[in-house]
Amino acid sequence: MSYFKDIKLLVIAVSVVSFWTVELTAVGPVVDQASGDLVYIAGTDGRQPGAETVTGDITQQVRQTFENLKNKLKLEGIDLSHVVSVNVYLSDVRNYGPMNEIYRSFFTSDPPVRATVQADLPAHGALVQISLVAVRYGVNHKIIKPSELQSPALPYSWGVLVGDTLFISGATSRDPKTYQPKLLDMAGQTRQVLDNIGSVLKSAGMSYGDVVTCKVFLDDARAFQEMNGVYRTFFPADPPARATVRSRLMNPAFLSEIQCTAVKDSSRRVVIPEGATRSSSPLSPGIQVRNRLYLSGMTGRGPDGYAPGNVEEQTRQSLENLQATLRTAGMDLTNVQEVLIYVTDIRDAEKVLNVYREAVGNKSIPLTVVGTPLMSPVALVEIMMTASN
- Side-by-side strand order, sheet with 336-343: 269-271, 286-289, 292-299, 381-388, 336-343, 367-371
pLDDT at 321 over 70: yes
**Orientation of helix 186-203 relative to helix 224-234, angle to 10°:** 30
**What pLDDT does 35 receive?**
58
Rounded alpha-carbon distances, angstroms, from residue 224 to 13, 34, 290: 11, 35, 32
All domains of the chain, ordered by start, with CATH?
3-388 (3.30.1330.40)
- Cβ(343)–Cβ(325) below 8 Å: no
**What pLDDT does 27 receive?**
38
pLDDT at 338 over 80: yes
Q: Which amino acid is it at 325? A: T
pLDDT at 380 over 80: yes
How much of the chain exceeds pLDDT 90, in percent?
Answer: 87
The backbone torsions φ and ψ at residue 98, rounded to the nearest 5 degrees and listed phi first, read -60, -35
**What pLDDT does 19 receive?**
31
258-280 per-position pLDDT tens digit: 999 999 999 999 999 988 877 77
pLDDT at 201 over 50: yes
The mean per-residue pLDDT over the stretch 1-28 comes to: 36
Rounded alpha-carbon distances, angstroms, from residue 62 to 97, 104, 233, 387: 12, 11, 39, 29
The mean per-residue pLDDT over the stretch 36-64 comes to: 95
Mean pLDDT of the chain: 91
Question: 160 versus 22: which is more confidently predicted?
Answer: 160
The mean per-residue pLDDT over the stretch 90-118 comes to: 98
**What pLDDT does 22 receive?**
38
**What pLDDT does 29 receive?**
35
pLDDT at 202 over 80: yes
Nearest to 128 by CA among 119, 140, 137: 119
**What pLDDT does 36 receive?**
80
